[in-house]
Amino acid sequence: MSLPPISCKERWTDCAISEADVAKDQDKNKVWKRDEIESPCIQICVVHPEARICTGCLRSIDEITSWSKMSHEERSDIMAALPERKSLLTKRRGGRKARLAKG
């Protein structure tokens, strides 16, 4: 048993989308288009035992856990401080000069 063909006009009359529905969808999508600072996480999550910061993103555990609740300004401040923290993880062992001194 076959059904009679339905024209395009008949097919879409019941499914018409109003302008109000389109506006609602656009409002819902605004949440995904926020102007926020992204996380510095690079998915290398190892906390340095002495410095107590992540060796991947250089944030403290407290900063990592509260990142999603922070304001734009708080995130900006942390992002600005991250490059300075890199020196907390590098440890000089003396290099060539130390090896030569041991003799």
- Residues 19-76 pLDDT 10s: 777 676 666 655 555 566 788 999 989 998 888 999 999 999 999 999 989 999 999 9
Q: Using 50, 70 and 90 to split pLDDT, how confident is the model at 77?
A: very high
Q: How many CB atoms lie within 10 A of CB 58?
A: 22
Which residues are within 8 A (CB) of 72 and not within 5 positions of it... i.e. 6 or more apart?
36, 37
pLDDT on residue 74: 94
